[in-house]
Structure 1
Amino acid sequence: MRLRTGVLVATVACFGLALTGCAGGSTGTPTESTEAADPLGTPNAASGDPIVFGTLDLASGPVTFPEVLAAQQAAVEYVNAYLGGINGQPIKLVTCETDGAPATSQRCANQILDQEPVAIVGGADIGSPGAMPIWETADLAYIGGIPFTPVEQNSPNAVLFSSISTADNAVASIFAAQELGAKSAAVIYTSDTQGTSTAEGVIIPTMKAAGITDITPVPIPPTASDVSSAVATAVGANPDVIYVNTPAACPNVLSSLKQLGNQAQLLGIDPCTSPPAIEGANGGAEGLYFAAPVDQADSGTADADLYVAAMKKYAPADVHLDSLSAMGFQTIINLQAALADFAPEDLTTEAILAAFRDGTDNTNFLGHPYTCDGEQLAGATAICNAYQHMLQVKDSVPGLVSDEWLSPSEYYTPAH
């Protein structure tokens, strides 16, 4: 574990780029990219003393999401170079590496506080329940990011622009029943705290509420190296659909499903559809449906073109443009948009939160408009937008099923 300051910069092309397999986009209308001289716009560099924000980076452990921090850092570079930062002063993002354990996140949170941030930028940290009480005690706003756990989703000082782990799984579960016509399902999930909570608290009850009456839970230990027995259990249940919620084990599970001749329709989570996961699945990801809170990077919208250009300019070449990357980028752009005219002395927690909670249907970069009224997702008062797109992997590339935004509100009820 170490504290890191500053911003990662790399002027390299975005990994290969296979943009049709990336997630990104916006709710705007497509633009003719060829007519734009530069999707990044006209440079307008920030200067002077930086305004410090803190974030946690899940750098080690059973699962990591390096694309989130890379996207946030690339977005910081972009807003400092092209949008004048915040009121002409640059944003500085200070980070601390975590490993998924709440105790480590707690220590990191205290180290971040030593850097005197004006607010916290949400990261992708499954150990965040250890950090959130630190931020709340310090009375710091918590902005955006990847809200994996209920702790972030219900923090009184949090404003979260997209829902992952709850609304996405709920929408996909509803889709399985209402659009695929499933009456039976097997749900394969990692049996750690996060995986069990999502499977038993979101996926399974939402499926039942939407009309799937026969469900076989199939837990897999997070340390399991052989998933064949669990996969055989799922296939042996002869379900209409199999839902895969195993972030670290997606390639093995999907590959094993194919080897066992699975005939059920597949659903899963976004980590199952990253380029490495699809490649590692050896064809097993083909046909998999999943929900995402952002459009694809090849959608041709101004937001998507900007996102891709900024990642190409400022992010490492091997960063995957998946939904989590888009959400990381989204967080910084929304932050700058809401706080652009604030003088440093005016960046109090009360004023910061008010800037996001004011109004309805606020512009949400790469996503459905957000409204921070505490009522967008049942049981998650900090979620400002629960809408999702449904996508499907075809020819090893994720693509939109339709451009409709879907809400889980009709069938999703939080577990008590």
Structure 2
Amino acid sequence: MRSPVSETHSRNARARIRKAGRRGAIVALVAACIVSLAACGDDSEGSSSAGTPKSLNKATGTPIKLGILNPVNGSAKSPGAPQGLNAAVKYVNGNLGGIDNHPIKVVSCDVDVASPETNIGCANQLAKSGVVAVIDAFNPTSSAALPILQSAKIPMIGPVPFDTVTGSKPDDRVYFGPAPAAFLLGAMQSIKQQGYSSVTLANLDLPSGHQTNDQILTPLGKSIGLDVKGVYYSPSNPNFSVLASTIKSTKAEVAGLLLALDEPTCNKLAQSLQNVGFKGVIFLATCTEFINKLGQKAVGAETYSSVWLPTAKSSAPAEVKKNLDVAADYLTAQGGPSDWYAFATFATVVDFAKTLGAAKPSEYTGPSVLKTLKAVEGYQSFLGPVLSCNRPTSPNCTTEFYNFKVVGNKKTELVGGKAIQPDPKGLKAIPGAN
């Protein structure tokens, strides 16, 4: 695993970003604030909750509008995403000086992530609102919004593309985490290296879920000699007892969730797997809440993440430990869940502010924002790996991620003691993965 870059490396990275800015690239920034319950509308920075850390370097310039496809409607909500957005905006605007003294102002449009129609409606509204970029917050139907945003020359940005169609091409989009295929290949490599030979993973019963299983999961498993099976669950009305029984019937050594849109899904499946007597390793995608809820019963379970998380803080690099504390303080002040969705979103916003603010643009437009982000190279991210966003075939700035095993009460450690680097040869066979 790469350690945080030295101060010299940081200065060099900032210089590269400034140089890219002088070549005509410009800053974009993504961030977020607590989202309104209205379908779509301008949101101000929002009022601070009691205990919010004191502002030290407050942005006072002209606000920059950023849009967000906010995942708060329907049955598959991700409340950690808006919490992370709001907390990060407070930190960026109050302590980092915004983006070159420009505070972030979010235009929020609420979507049901199981509904392409709501994404289309929000894309139309956001395209008319003057935003320079739109945040994709863990949305498996975000590709429905792409044609409208592309026509308006507004880039889509985010932590990880949950929609495999969105993640399959680099055009007009940038993600600071790895592609889903990188997660899958790396996780299966880890499972294989641990000595297991079979895995069953559940995914959403949506076209993107079937596409992931059929075009990515099964072929990748075969390529490394791992018996991989995929099963499905309803995003609107899941029956976890039936799902757990189906998973158990496959006799897999490792089983769980390939993708989870919210923490309750992981909690319920973990409990259901234990209730039906599943004795293998429980693998729960990007979830963290189950670790606290199950306590000692969670020991042995695994989860993956695009960023370092508080449960693994004791083994994190020194700079990451400090950044985890910063994020935790702001997230706690905003209330709500402090899960992977919250920390990943928080980190994404801070990385946007730091990398893009260094370019000091003279104007903020969708095309210049995209160009600047694509020029980012060798940047040590806030809670994760070094990022380079100039990949010609992928919108993702890294393929590296972290696979954690629960080793004690509310404590995790890196499987194998280091970050996972998926096999580049395997990734090359998958559009948008490398």
Give me the TM-score of the superposition, normalised by structure 2. 0.78
The residue number in structure 1 matching 2:180 is 165
Conserved? CA contact 1:10–1:314, under 8 Å: no
Aligned-residue offset at 1:394 = 3.2
Identity over aligned pairs, percent: 22
Question: Of 385, 389, 393, which aligns to 1:368?
Answer: 385
Aligned-residue offset at 1:390 = 1.2
Conserved? CA contact 1:172–1:267, under 8 Å: no
Structure-2 change in CA distance of 1:282 and 1:194 (3 Å): farther
Q: Distance in 1 between matches of 2:239 and 2:136?
A: 33
The residue number in structure 2 matching 1:156 is 171
Aligned-residue offset at 1:373 = 2.4
Question: Of 364, 369, 374, which aligns to 1:352?
Answer: 369
What root-mean-square deviation, in Å, do the aligned CA atoms of Structure 1 and Structure 2 show? 2.9
The residue number in structure 1 matching 2:77 is 64
Question: Of 25, 44, 47, which aligns to 2:57?
Answer: 44
Structure-2 change in CA distance of 1:211 and 1:13 (3 Å): farther
Q: Distance in 1 between matches of 2:162 and 2:323?
A: 26
Q: How far does the alpha carbon of each residue in 1:244-274 deviate from its partner, in whole angstroms, 9 at most, with x for none? A: 3362633332222212322222323013xx3
Question: Of 262, 265, 277, which aligns to 1:261?
Answer: 277
Structure-2 change in CA distance of 1:93 and 1:246 (3 Å): closer
Conserved? CA contact 1:186–1:218, under 8 Å: yes
Q: Distance in 2 between matches of 1:120 and 1:361?
A: 24
Question: Of 132, 139, 143, which aligns to 2:153?
Answer: 139
> Structure 2 matches for 1:300-319, cutoff 5 A?
301-313=318-330, 318-319=335-336
The residue number in structure 1 matching 2:39 is 2
For residue 346 of structure 2, what is the amino acid of its counterpart? F
Q: Distance in 2 between matches of 1:65 and 1:189?
A: 16
The SS at the match of 2:232 is strand
Structure-2 change in CA distance of 1:399 and 1:240 (3 Å): same
Conserved? CA contact 2:70–2:110, under 8 Å: yes
Q: Distance in 2 between matches of 1:392 and 1:257?
A: 17
For residue 388 of structure 1, what is the amino acid of its counterpart? F
Q: Which segment is superposed worse, 346-355 or 217-226?
A: 217-226
Structure-2 change in CA distance of 1:354 and 1:222 (3 Å): closer
Aligned-residue offset at 1:289 = 1.5
Structure-2 change in CA distance of 1:236 and 1:302 (3 Å): same
> Structure 2 matches for 1:89-238, cutoff 5 A?
89-100=102-113, 101-153=115-167, 154-163=169-178, 165-177=180-192, 179-212=193-226, 214-238=227-251
Q: Distance in 1 between matches of 2:431 and 2:150?
A: 24
Conserved? CA contact 2:164–2:208, under 8 Å: no
Structure-2 change in CA distance of 1:403 and 1:357 (3 Å): farther
Flag the structure with higher helix content.
Answer: 2
Structure-2 change in CA distance of 1:226 and 1:324 (3 Å): closer
Conserved? CA contact 1:84–1:90, under 8 Å: yes
Conserved? CA contact 1:296–1:304, under 8 Å: no
Structure-2 change in CA distance of 1:216 and 1:118 (3 Å): closer
Q: Distance in 2 between matches of 1:313 and 1:290?
A: 24
Structure-2 change in CA distance of 1:88 and 1:231 (3 Å): closer
Aligned-residue offset at 1:374 = 2.1
Conserved? CA contact 1:188–1:246, under 8 Å: yes
Q: Distance in 1 between matches of 2:410 and 2:217?
A: 24
Conserved? CA contact 2:153–2:367, under 8 Å: no
Give me the TM-score of the superposition, normalised by structure 1. 0.81
Question: Of 397, 413, 434, which aligns to 1:384?
Answer: 397
The SS at the match of 1:80 is helix
The SS at the match of 1:59 is strand
Conserved? CA contact 2:351–2:381, under 8 Å: yes
The residue number in structure 2 matching 1:78 is 91
Structure-2 change in CA distance of 1:303 and 1:122 (3 Å): farther
Q: Does residue 338 of structure 1 match 2:350? A: no
Conserved? CA contact 1:258–1:283, under 8 Å: no
For residue 281 of structure 2, what is the amino acid of its counterpart? Q
Q: Distance in 2 between matches of 1:256 and 1:312?
A: 33
